[in-house]
Amino acid sequence: MDKATGDDAEKVIKIAGSITVDELASALGLSVTALIGGLFKNGIVATINQRLDFETAEIMIGELGIENVRLERKNTATKTSDSFRTELSDHAKSRPPVVAMMGHVDHGKTSLLDKLLDKKTAEKEAGGITQHISAYQLEHDKRKITFLDTPGHEAFAAIRQHGAMLTDIVVIVVAADDGVKPQTVEAIKFAQDANAKIIVAINKIDREGADVPRTMADLSTHGLQPEEWGGDIIMVPVSAKTGENLEKLLDSILLIADVEELKADVDIPAEGLVIESHMETGKGSVVNLLVTGGELKVGEFIQAGNTYAKIRTMLNFRGQPKGKAGPSTPVTVTGFKDLPSFGDRFIEYPDEKSARRASVLNAEAEANAMASANVTSTDLLRMMNSADNSKVFNVIVKGDVLGSVTSVVDSLKMIDTKGEVTLNIVATGVGDITENDVYMAAGDDRAVIYGFNVNVPTNIAKMAARDDVPIRNYKVIYELLDNAKESMEDLLDAEIIEEELGVMKVMGVFRTTKNEIIAGGEVTDGKVVPGALARIVHGKQAVSETEVASVQREKIEAKELIAGEVGGLALKTEKKTALEVGDKLEFFERKEVKKKL
Ligand code: GDP
């Protein structure tokens, strides 16, 4: 941290990422106790060495009423998550491209991949939606291409948060009969953020209603200019059904791979990413890896996250044994002591001892990071909110494999609750819903149990029904997230809104008592109905509020008076209220509406 004191007018404090309580207090000329006290008042118990992030420091300065101080971010060009693509040596060899298909649901990602692999997987997937990230490899022109079968975009973004940059090329799949849809736009943004090269597959061209030029025009308004129109994006019209142009799509992928000169070193210790992991009876942990550098062999020692393995068996994506796997190769291995997490990086070590040691060091580093975790503005805002009783949504997440649990949890965390609801993840786990989950959910932190691709045994369902514990089991991540969002919205207090109905110009006031005013006039705008609320506006000022008891047209009770009509009104009042000729009555209704997130 730098301190730069200018003249008396303003003091600039530069913060690189975060600042300790001690440093901030001294920069502000405050006692540490005063700052800690201020944090405490906002629900944060901080120690002198605790680090506060930029936003928290900024909020605290405001909260403490300190003026003439400005915080500035000190630039620390942080290298982002692609730290994976380590510096290559001169003798790096070209490697197969790693490709992901992304796009709007039902636009044909799974069908395209199936057709490409000539292998039916769609039927096995619930609702045809791909659930787990897995990987496949195919050969075209005697060259390999690795495809990642991706889960929803949220989950994919979650993997990225884990520090993984998986793909070289993203194939954006758009149905020619449906055009660009919200998830298409998301996919484009994702690919751009991830620095991946983009190819567009305009799918379903066999369909009636397919309109390739319109789809291209649609895409160009979203920043993707087709090559044919002078832009730089290859767009291939294809059909997953008839197989038309799929060769061309693969040609284009290889063309991009050539232009990008994708390479990796082979003669380095093997490294890569965990892309899926689960337990299987008889086999223990079964882990899918994508090798990104070096060559992985059976019998080698690798560390990933807090665990390590001596690779016992290694299979290719078709389930055939493989002795070694080079860069861009997806493999399934057994031999891990525990389940590593989705997105964990793996590295080869020369022996068991050093692999184990690396896993222990990793665990220690993680524990330390947790212990001295920065106080972030999210924590602060959450605490401030919970001070004025913000709502808490407790959940327990169960999934069939670790990857899906991580995806669900990360995706849940990404729901923007605008600081109004705090998501509290009470517990997570791999496997079916158990008695213990129900006990936990029925406890102090009453929770909703979300299952993803798991079973709910009948006795557990009964137990949950008895204890009034909601179990919500899904096979499609979007549906789970939609439900969570709705449930959080249900927690919010309804919002009261006023809906304007109409205006009347008062032309006569016939009777005024303590409880009632009888008046007449012309509706100049909108309408008036019995039961509406009415503001009496004198000159330009609203002076009081009453309610319309009844409406009359030519002395006969009416359901409404509309603009242009003249009629009479009875207004309900609670005390004697002044209404004069020339005043305006503004009619409105007050409604409770459910707040949205
Ligand atoms: P995803 O959600 O993007 O993975 O989409 P799917 O691959 O599950 O496809 C959704 C639906 O569109 C399925 O009923 C497919 O059979 C159908 N479909 C996919 N591609 C094509 C295509 O090229 N032509 C036609 N006619 N139907 C297709």
- Round to whole Å and give the CA distance between 334 and 315: 9
Q: Is the CB of 105 under 6 A from ligand 1?
A: yes
Name the more confident of 366 and 310: 310
Q: Is the CB of 324 under 6 A from ligand 1?
A: no
Output the DSSP codes for 407-439: HHHHHHHTS--TTTEEEEEEEEEESS--HHHHH
Q: Is the CB of 113 under 6 A from ligand 1?
A: no
b/e map of 163-173 (b: 16 or more CB within 10 Å)? ebbbbbbbbbb
Under 8 Å CB-to-CB from 178, ≥6 apart: which residues? 104, 106, 107, 204
Model confidence at 214, pLDDT cuts 50, 70, 90, reads: very high
Element containing residue 111 per DSSP (H, E): helix 109-117
Output the DSSP codes for 211-268: -HHHHHHHHHHTT--BGGGTSSBEEEE--TTT-TTHHHHHHHHHHHHHHHT-EE-SSS
Please report the beta strands in 337-376, taking only residues with DSSP state E, as ranges in sequence order.
345-349
Model confidence at 13, pLDDT cuts 50, 70, 90, reads: confident
- Kindly report the length of the chain: 597
Name the more confident of 83 and 307: 307
Q: Is the CB of 108 under 6 A from ligand 1?
A: yes
Segment 216-234 shows an average pLDDT of 94
Q: Is the CB of 101 under 6 A from ligand 1?
A: no
Return the pLDDT at 410. Answer: 84
Tokens of 215: 């789809």
Give residue-wise pLDDT tens across range 199-210.
Answer: 999 999 999 999
Return the pLDDT at 130. Answer: 37
CA angle 395, 398, 400 (to 5 degrees): 160
At residue 325, φ and ψ (nearest 5 deg) are -140, 125
Residue 523: burial class (beta carbons within 10 Å; 0-12, 13-18, 19+): buried
Return the pLDDT at 119. Answer: 43
Q: Which residue has the tokens 């020369």?
A: 350
Residue 18 has pLDDT above 80, yes or no: no
Return the pLDDT at 128. Answer: 35
Ligand 1 centroid from CA 240, angstroms: 7
- Round to whole Å and give the CA distance between 279 and 429: 12
Ligand 1 atom nearest residue 240's Cα: 23
Give just the sign of the alpha carbon dihedral 528, 531, 537, 538.
positive
Segment 584-595 shows an average pLDDT of 90
- Round to whole Å and give the CA distance between 130 and 432: 20
Q: Is the CB of 560 under 6 A from ligand 1?
A: no
Return the pLDDT at 375. Answer: 57
Q: Is the CB of 239 under 6 A from ligand 1?
A: yes
Name the more confident of 85 and 519: 519
Q: Whose CA is nearest to atom 11 of ligand 1?
A: 106
Task: Tell me the C-alpha to C-alpha distance, in Å, between residue 269 and each of 51, 291, 453.
Answer: 36, 11, 36
> Of 111, 124, 239, 477, which is best to mutate to test ligand 1, by the most ligand atoms within 8 angstroms of its C-beta?
111
- Round to whole Å and give the CA distance between 467 and 424: 20
Ligand 1 centroid from CA 264, angstroms: 35
Query: Looking at the whole model, is its pTM more than 0.85?
Result: no
Give residue-wise pLDDT tens across range 295-308.
Answer: 999 999 999 988 99
Rounded to the nearest integer, the mean pLDDT of the chain is: 83
Segment 241-259 shows an average pLDDT of 94
596: helix, strand or coil: coil
Q: Is the CB of 187 under 6 A from ligand 1?
A: no
Return the pLDDT at 156. Answer: 55
Return the pLDDT at 436. Answer: 84
Return the pLDDT at 246. Answer: 94
Return the pLDDT at 368. Answer: 59
Name the more confident of 451 and 426: 451
Segment 399-408 shows an average pLDDT of 84
Are 452 and 480 in contact by the 8 Å Cβ rule? The answer is: yes
Name the more confident of 537 and 341: 537
Of the candidates 535, 566, 572, 411, which has an alpha carbon nearest to the alpha carbon of residue 477? 411
Give residue-wise pLDDT tens across range 460-488.
Answer: 999 999 989 999 999 988 899 999 999 99
Return the pLDDT at 164. Answer: 45
Q: Is the CB of 116 under 6 A from ligand 1?
A: no
Model confidence at 343, pLDDT cuts 50, 70, 90, reads: confident
304: helix, strand or coil: strand
Name the more confident of 448 and 186: 448
Name the more confident of 162 and 254: 254
At residue 392, φ and ψ (nearest 5 deg) are -120, 130
